[in-house]
Amino acid sequence: MFFYVLSSTVSFALDPKKQISQYLIKQWTTRDGLPTNTLNNVYQTKDGFIWASTYNGLIRFDGVEFKIFDKKNLPYLTNSSISALYQTKDDSLWIGTHGGGFMVQKNHHFSFCTSVTTKGNFPDYSIEAICETKEGTLWIGTRGHGIMTYKDGLFAPFTAISEINAISINEIQYGESGANSTVWIATEGKGLFSYQNEIVEKYNVENGLLINDVITGLLLDKANTLWVGTINGVNRIRNGKSEIIKELEGIAINDIIEDKEGSIWFGTSAGLYRRNPLTKKYEVLNTENGLPHNNVMHIGTDREGNLWLAMYRAGLIRLKDGKFINYTVQQGLASVSVSSIYEVENDTYWIGSDAGIINTIKNQNVGTYSLKNPLSTDRLRNIFKDREGNNWVASYAGLLRISSDGSERLFTTADGLTDNQVRVVTQTINGSIWAGTRGGGLNEYSPSEQKWIPFTKDDGLTSNFIMGVEPTQDGNLIVSTNDAGVSIINLKTRKVSKIYTQTEGLPSNLAFSARYDSKKILWICANSGLVAIAPNNINKVHIFSLSNGFPVDAIFDIREDANNDLWLSSSQGVIRIERNSITEYLKGKRKELKTELFDRSDGMKEEECTGAVHFHKDRQGRMWFPTIGGLSMIDPLQISKNMIAPPTYITKMSVDSIVYDFPSFSENKKIIIEAGAFHFTGLSLVSPSDMRFKYRLKGFDEEWIEVTNERNALYTGLAPKEYTFEVMAANNDGVWCEEIATIKFKIKPLLYQTPYFWIALILSFLILVWLAYRYQVGRIRRQNIKLEETVKERTAEINQQKEEIETQRDRIEEQRKAISESYQQIHKVGEIGQKITAKLQTDMLVQTIYQNILTLMPVEGFGIGMHKSDENKIEFRNYIEHGELLPFHSDLLSQVNRLSIQCFTKKKSILIHDTEKYFSKNTQLKYLDMGKMPKSLIYVPLVINEKTVGVLTVQSFKNNAYTKEDVVILEALAAYISIAQSNAKSYEIIQEKNRNITDSIRYALTIQQAVLPTPEEMNRLFDEYFVVFKPKDIVSGDFYWTVNYKGKTFVAIVDCTGHGVPGGFMSMIGNALLNEIVTIERIFSPAKILEKLHQDVRAALQQEKAKNDDGMDVAIFCLDKTEEGNKITFAGAKQAMYYIENHKLTKIKGDKMSIGGRRSKRRSDTFKEKTIILPNGSMIYMMSDGFADQADLQGQKIGSNKIIEQLEKVAELSTDKQKQELEVLLEQHQRTAPQRDDITLLGIRL
C-alpha cells in the first residue's frame, strides 16, 4: 500500500452535487490487455501516464494501450510482484516489490535498488509504503521489518520507535502544521504512531482512540482531520479526539483519499464510499447501483478529475463526470423505456413509460405518483400540464385528466374521443386542449362547452395517425402525421392552410414533430432527415441527412435553448446545431450545418433516444431526453469543457522491423529508413477515443496532417537527409497541447546513394566500353580472314551439290505425287472417322459407314458384326446388300469354319479376290449364310484396347474388286468404327439411366415445391408481391421462405451451395431449420436466427469432423407492424436487402460471412442486424446472385447495377407488372445462352 498525495497538476474533481451513481463507469480487464484482473495500486505520474501495480508486473496506461513491464522486458527485475508506487519531488517514480527491492523510473528509464546494487545497504524486503518528507527523506514501510529511510543515496533503518522494528508498516503519511512536521505511521496490529520532533504518540484500541489496530488506510485531509481506516471501520481524529464513523462500521477499509472538491473517498470490501462535502452524508457505489465488483483495493485521481479504482478481480475502473444527469431503473424508474416527461411544478417532473406507472423526480430523487384509478394500459405516451393547473396523461387507454385538486377523469370514446389511443396532448393560446390520436385524428376539448370536437380527414386533415401537435404564437396548430407529412391548421377558420409532404419536397411523409424556432424557421423532424423551411421562402425545403453530412437520418424532436442553438433527439444520441451555422447556411456561406453529437462518451447512459416521442425543455432551460435506457438531462448553459491540454509523447519508432521503444532513441540517432512507423499518444483520460492528433515530418510534409484517434504515422521511401517528426494532440473538447513532441533523426545514405559509388560506377562503365570495343575490332578481323577461306571451299561444294539436287528434284516430284494421293486418302478416312464417331445410334451408324465407304471402294454388300459375350456369338444387324437391309443374322463362336469367326478369333484381316476358287481350296471354311455369294470380300476385326469386339466386312459381286490398299483403309476405319460402336452402346445405357434419374429428380421437384410458400400463403401475408423463381436444373439450390408467428412476419431468400440435386438437399435442410428456429425455439432476432442457423447447419453436416464447406447465403428480415410504421429488422449472410422509399433505392449490405462451412477460430464476429422504419407503399427486394451472374452469348453478366436500375424504374408499377419487366430484362440479356445458376428474386410492397 502507499499513501496518495494529490499533486498540483490535479485541476478537477467529480461534481459532489451529483449522486454517486451518476458518474460514468468504464472497466478494463484482461480482455482489454491487463495481465491480471487483480490490481494493488493505481497512480498518475506528472507526465500524465496512469501506472498500476499487480502481482504480475507493472502497468503503464495511456487510456488506450497497456504497456506491461516485467521480467521479460526488465531483465534486472528479480520479482514481478509490485507492491507500492510513489513519485518524489524530482519526478522519480519509486516502485516497491515483494522481496525484490526497488525500481526507480525517471525520464522513462529504469534503475534498480537491491541488496546487490546497494552492496547490502538495502535488504530485499517487501515494500508496503513510501512517503517523502519536506527535506527529501524517503520513509519506506516494509512487511515485517519496520521502516527504512533513504537520504543522499543511503538507506538506513529507522529505530526511534522500537515497537515497530519487526512489524509490517501499511501506510506512512507526512503532514505539516505551522513550523512542525509529523510523520504518521500505520501498522499491522500495533495501531497508529505519530513522530514529531522525536516525540512519539500512540493511537490504538487500548487507549480508546481506534476501532481496530490493523490499519489499512490513512488520510490527513485539508482541514488537518485524520481519517484512519481499519479492517473493521473508520476512525476520524480531530483535535486529539477520535470518533467512529457509524456508516462504515464493520466494513474493511482498503484506501482513503480526498479529491479537490473535498470529497472523502473510501475504497472498501463493500464498495466505494463517498463522504459528500456538501451534505456531509455518506453514499455508496456498489454492485447494486453499477459497480462491477465491490472490493476496491486502491483509489487514485488524475489531473482531469477522473477517479481511478484498482479492483480485486475486477481490473481497472474509471469514474468520470459526464455532461448529462441520468435516471434509470437503478435510480428508481419503473421502466428503462421512457416515453414522456414534463415539469409539472418548479423542479418537479412527471415521467411516463411503457410500464404504465407515473414516476416523479424532485431534488434528484425518484418517486412514484399513485393514481387513484390505475390505467388499463402500460403505454403512457405523453404528459402535459395546462395553464389551469390540470395534468393530462395521454395513454392507449384514453386521455387522463388529473385536476389541481387531485381528482381524476379518464376521457374515452364514450366521452366523445374519436380514438382511445391518444399519443399527444397540448393547449392552444385560446385555452383549448387538443389531443392527437393514433387512428382518430385530432380532438379539441373546449372547457366552456365541456365536450370533444373531432377534427379528422373528413374535416380536411391529411391523416388520422397523429405523431405530434404543436401550437404556434399566431393561433395556428402544426400537426405531424405518420403517413401524410405536416399540416398547419388555422384555428380561427378550422381549415388546413398549408401542407408539406413529399410532393412539396419532404424526404418522407413520416414526420415525428414540427416546430417554429425564434427566427420563424419551420423545422420538421422526419425519419429520413431534418427539414428546414425559412420564412422568406416557405416553398423552399432544405433537407439535412446522412447524404449531405448530417450525423443521422431519423430525427424525433427539436427544441431551442437560451443561446438560440437547436437541440435534437435521435436514434444515435442528442444533436446540437449552432445558430450561427444555420444563418450562414441559409445565406449560402456554408454547405453544412455545424453540429455536435452527444452520446455515451459524453455521459448518456443510453444514447438511443426513444423513437417517435418528444423531449422536454424545463423552466431553467435544461433539456430532458427520454431514451430506451431511462432519462438523460443536460443543461445547455452549464456544459463543462475539458480545458486540460493533453501532453503528447512519441512512444516508439518501428524501422525495418526493429522497434525503438520510448525513449530508447536519441534525437540524433543515425538510422536508415525504408519504411518507418512513428507511434505516439496523447494523455487525455476523459475520452481517449475522441482525441485528435496532428503530425508532420519536417523535410517531407509541407503541412500538418490531422487524424482522428489514429496513433501512428507511416513513411516510406525517404531520401537520405535530416528530418524532424512532430506531433501534437487535442482532447475530446478540441483543446490542443502547446508543447509539440519531436524526434530528430538522419537518414544515412546507402552505398548506391553516395557520390563515390556513382564516380566508381561511371569509370567502370567507361573501361568496360573501351575493352568491349577492342575485343570487337579483333574479333571482326579474324572473322574476315576465316570468311575468305570458307567462301572458296563453299563455292566448290555448291557446284557439286547443284548436280545432286537436280537429280533429287525429279525423285522428290514423283514422291510428292504419291504422298499427295496417300494424304488425300488419309484425310478422307479421317473425315469419315469423325462422321462415324459423331453417331450415337446404331442404325444411323451403319448407314453412315456404308455411305462413306462407297466413296472409297466398290461395295455391293456391307455389314458389321458385334460380339455378344452373354450369348457367345457375332450378331450382324442391318446388313446391307445393294442398298437394302437384309434379315438379322448371327454366327456362333463355336462355328469356327465361318470367315467372320476366323477373323474375330485370330484378330487378322481376310482378303479374298475370288471366292469360288478360295472355297474350292478351303473346303472346311464357309461363307456367311446371308445374301448372294460375293466374288470378292474383305473381313477386318474391330478391336478396342487389344480386345476384339466385332468384325467389318465389305463384299463385291466382281472378282479382284479389292486391293491391299483397301484393306489398309478399312483397318484404319475399323478403329473409328470400334469406338463408334462402343459409344453407341454406352449412349443407350446412359439414355436409360438418364430417364430413370430424370424421373427421380422430377419427384424431388414435387417435394421441394411442397415446402415453398404457396400463393395462398403469400397472399394472406402480403397484399402485393411477386417471385421470380427459375431453377438452373429441375431442382433448385435456391429457395424462399416465410412464416408469420406471434404477429411477426419473417421472410428469407436462401442461396444454397450448388444447384440441382445437391442444392435441393441443402434447401430442404435450410427450410426445416428455419421453421424450427422461429416457431419452436422462438428466436425472433434475424441476426440470432442466422447465428443459430449457422450452428445447426454445421451440426447437420458434421462439419466439425468432415472437411465440408457446404453452406448457404441468406437474406432475412422481420416485419413488425408498429405505430411508427413498418419496422423492418434485417440481417444478411453474404446477401443484401434493397428497399425503395420515396422513389429512392437503398441497399443494406449483409455481413461477409456465410452460413455453414468453416470460420476462422480467431474470428469472433457475429451477425449484425439493422432496423429501419418504412411507410406503407415502400418496396422491399431480396435476390440470390443467380440473376446478376447470368451471362449473355458473349459471356457478359447482367450485373447488380443493371438490376438496381430496373428496380428503380418499375418500383411504382404493380407487382405483377414488375415481375414481367424483370423477366423481360432477363430474357433479352440471356437469349439462347445457358442458365448459369439458380435464380430467385422476391419483391414485396408494404
Last residue of a domain, one of 724, 750, 776: 750
Task: Note whether residue 1204 is domain-resident.
Answer: yes
The answer on pLDDT for 40 being more than 60 is yes
Please report the pLDDT score of residue 750 as a whole number: 73
The mean pLDDT value for 758-787 works out to: 84
The mean pLDDT value for 844-873 works out to: 86
Q: 1000 pLDDT band (50/70/90 cuts)?
A: low
Please report the pLDDT score of residue 305 as a whole number: 95
User: Are residues 941 and 1050 located together in one domain of the fold?
Assistant: no
Task: Note whether residue 593 is domain-resident.
Answer: no
> Would you give the DSSP letter of residue 537?
-
The answer on pLDDT for 154 being more than 80 is yes
Separation of alpha carbons 1159 and 1142, rounded Å: 39
Summarize pLDDT for 779-800 with one digit per residue, the tens. Answer: 888 887 887 777 777 777 777 7
The answer on pLDDT for 983 being more than 60 is yes
User: Are residues 1179 and 1231 located together in one domain of the fold?
Assistant: yes
User: Are residues 1022 and 1131 located together in one domain of the fold?
Assistant: yes
- Quick one: three-class SS letters along 242-272? EEECHHHCCCCEEEEEECCCCCEEEEECCEE
Please report the pLDDT score of residue 718 as a whole number: 79
Summarize pLDDT for 820-847 with one digit per residue, the tens. Answer: 555 566 667 767 766 776 665 666 778 8
Last residue of a domain, one of 142, 158, 174: 158
The answer on pLDDT for 878 being more than 60 is yes
What whole-number percentage of the chain has pLDDT above 70? 91
Task: Note whether residue 180 is domain-resident.
Answer: no
Task: Note whether residue 137 is domain-resident.
Answer: yes
User: Are residues 857 and 974 located together in one domain of the fold?
Assistant: yes
Residue, of 75 and 380, whose pLDDT is higher:
380
User: Are residues 968 and 1079 located together in one domain of the fold?
Assistant: no
Q: 227 pLDDT band (50/70/90 cuts)?
A: very high
The DSSP result for 70-118, as a single string, is STTT-TT-S---EEEEEE-TTS-EEEEEBSS-EEEEETTEEEEE-TTTT
Name the region of 1103 (left: φ>0; alpha: ψ -120 to 50; beta: rest).
alpha
Q: Which of 612, 428, 474 is nearest to 1175 (CA)?
A: 612
The tally of domains found in the chain comes to 4
**Is-contact 681 707, C-beta < 8 A?**
no
CATH at 1068: 3.60.40.10
Please report the pLDDT score of residue 1157 as a whole number: 79
Residue, of 439 and 1156, whose pLDDT is higher:
439
User: Global pTM?
Assistant: 0.62
Q: Which of 33, 89, 109, 17 is nearest to 66 (CA)?
A: 33
Summarize pLDDT for 463-506 with one digit per residue, the tens. Answer: 999 999 999 999 999 999 999 999 999 999 999 999 999 999 99
H or E element, residue 1225: helix 1215-1230
Instruction: Determine the 3-state secondary structure of 1188 from DSSP.
Output: helix
User: Are residues 980 and 1060 located together in one domain of the fold?
Assistant: no
Q: Helix %, strand %, coil % for the chain, to 5?
A: 20, 40, 40
Task: Note whether residue 444 is domain-resident.
Answer: no
Please report the pLDDT score of residue 18 as a whole number: 92
Q: 10 pLDDT band (50/70/90 cuts)?
A: very low
User: Are residues 918 and 1063 located together in one domain of the fold?
Assistant: no
Q: 1162 pLDDT band (50/70/90 cuts)?
A: very low
**Alpha helical stretches, state H, 935-1077:** 964-1011, 1015-1021, 1060-1075
Please report the pLDDT score of residue 714 as a whole number: 86
C-alpha distances in Å from residue 81, one per residue of 93, 127, 254: 16, 10, 19
Please report the pLDDT score of residue 674 as a whole number: 40
CATH at 737: 2.60.40.10
Please report the pLDDT score of residue 653 as a whole number: 78
Cα pseudo-dihedral 434, 439, 441, 442, rounded to 10: -10
User: Are residues 1175 and 1210 located together in one domain of the fold?
Assistant: yes
Please report the pLDDT score of residue 826 as a whole number: 61
Summarize pLDDT for 1026-1060 with one digit per residue, the tens. Answer: 999 999 887 888 999 999 988 899 999 999 987 66
The answer on pLDDT for 9 being more than 50 is no
Task: Note whether residue 735 is domain-resident.
Answer: yes
Handedness of CA 821, 824, 828, 830 (dihedral sign): positive
User: Are residues 1068 and 1186 located together in one domain of the fold?
Assistant: yes
CATH at 925: 3.30.450.40
Summarize pLDDT for 597-616 with one digit per residue, the tens. Answer: 999 989 999 999 999 999 99
Separation of alpha carbons 226 and 239, rounded Å: 9
∠ CA 51-284-235, nearest 5°, is: 85
What is the grid cell recorded at 710? 489514429
Task: Note whether residue 346 is domain-resident.
Answer: no
The answer on pLDDT for 237 being more than 50 is yes
CATH at 126: 2.130.10.10
Q: Which residue type sits at 549?
A: G
Q: Which residue type sits at 913?
A: H
User: Are residues 1162 and 1199 located together in one domain of the fold?
Assistant: yes
Q: 301 pLDDT band (50/70/90 cuts)?
A: very high
**Is-contact 1033 1059, C-beta < 8 A?**
yes
The answer on pLDDT for 1244 being more than 80 is yes
Lowest-confidence range among 196-205, 512-521, 714-723?
Answer: 714-723
CB burial of 436-471 (b: ≥16 within 10 Å; e: otherwise) equals bbbbbbbbbbeeeeeebebbbeeeebbbbbbbbbbb
Please report the pLDDT score of residue 927 as a whole number: 58
Please report the pLDDT score of residue 11 as a whole number: 39
> Would you give the DSSP letter of residue 119?
T
Instruction: Determine the 3-state secondary structure of 776 from DSSP.
Output: helix
Task: Note whether residue 704 is domain-resident.
Answer: yes
∠ CA 138-144-147, nearest 5°, is: 20
Last residue of a domain, one of 750, 777, 793: 750
Tell the residue number behind the cell numbers 450525423, with chain if given: 551
Please report the pLDDT score of residue 660 as a whole number: 52
The mean pLDDT value for 886-897 works out to: 84
Please report the pLDDT score of residue 840 as a whole number: 59
Question: To the nearest whole number, what is the mean pLDDT of the chain?
Answer: 88
The answer on pLDDT for 949 being more than 50 is yes
**Is-contact 890 908, C-beta < 8 A?**
no
Q: 199 pLDDT band (50/70/90 cuts)?
A: very high
**Alpha helical stretches, state H, 305-397:** none
Phi, psi (rounded to 5 degrees) for 1224: -65, -45
CB atoms within 10 A of CB 718: 17
Range of the domain at 983: 838-990
User: Are residues 985 and 1018 located together in one domain of the fold?
Assistant: no
Half-sphere exposure of residue 166: CA atoms within 13 angstroms, side-chain side: 0
User: Are residues 1141 and 1029 located together in one domain of the fold?
Assistant: yes
Please report the pLDDT score of residue 427 as a whole number: 96
Residue, of 283 and 652, whose pLDDT is higher:
283
The answer on pLDDT for 1112 being more than 70 is yes
The mean pLDDT value for 572-581 works out to: 96
Please report the pLDDT score of residue 651 as a whole number: 86
Q: 1065 pLDDT band (50/70/90 cuts)?
A: confident
The answer on pLDDT for 815 being more than 70 is no
Name the region of 1047 (left: φ>0; alpha: ψ -120 to 50; beta: rest).
left
The answer on pLDDT for 533 being more than 90 is yes
